[in-house]
Amino acid sequence: MNAKSMIRLRMSSHDAHYGGNLVDGAKMLQLFGDVATELLIINDGDEGLFAAYDNVEFLAPVYAGDYIEAVGEIVKVGNSSRKMVFEARKVIVPRLDISDSAADFLAEPVVVCRASGTCVVPVKCQRNNK
């Protein structure tokens, strides 16, 4: 079975980079990097290094106050390389039209970003023999 990981966190006003409280797309890549680190620790017992993204798609805007769930999975294991796929989904949105503290849990999460990439764990650093 391939290793899987998920993190969920709220985008803050500090994450908003553009007008209208829009969050920079690079924040999703930062989340994917954290997911990748956890996946490498689970799989290899080492944080490894992110070598490259081979595909990134930004599919919907993310705003301060949105809760984002970032998931990832190792889909291919080489000698030292680990091919991974990622998806970020908006699962909660603020409802400022109702009140400052209103929010909705989305019945259908909104996919905001998808990506795939490769991480590397040097053989000498791999502690979990599979």
Kindly report the average pLDDT of the chain as a whole number. 95
Q: Which of 129, 117, 128 is nearest to 54 (CA)?
A: 117
- pLDDT tops 80 at residue 66: yes
From CA 71, how far away is CA 90, in angstroms rounded? 12
In a domain, residue 90? The reply is yes
Token code pair at residue 102:
């209103």
In a domain, residue 69? The reply is yes
User: DSSP string of 86-120?
Assistant: EEEEEEEEE-TTT-TT-EEEEEEEEEEEEEEEEEE
pLDDT of residue 17: 87
pLDDT of residue 1: 52
**CATH number of the domain enclosing 39:** 3.10.129.10
Where does residue 34 rank: exposed (0-12), middle (13-18), buried (19+ CB within 10 A)? middle
Question: What is this structure's pTM?
Answer: 0.93
pLDDT of residue 70: 98
pLDDT of residue 2: 77
Share of the chain above pLDDT 70, in %: 98
Range of the structural domain that residue 53 is part of: 4-125
Q: How many domains does the chain have?
A: 1
Share of the chain above pLDDT 90, in %: 95
Q: What's the pLDDT band for 130 if we cut at 50, 70, 90?
A: low
In a domain, residue 112? The reply is yes
In a domain, residue 130? The reply is no
From CA 18, how far away is CA 62, in angstroms rounded? 11
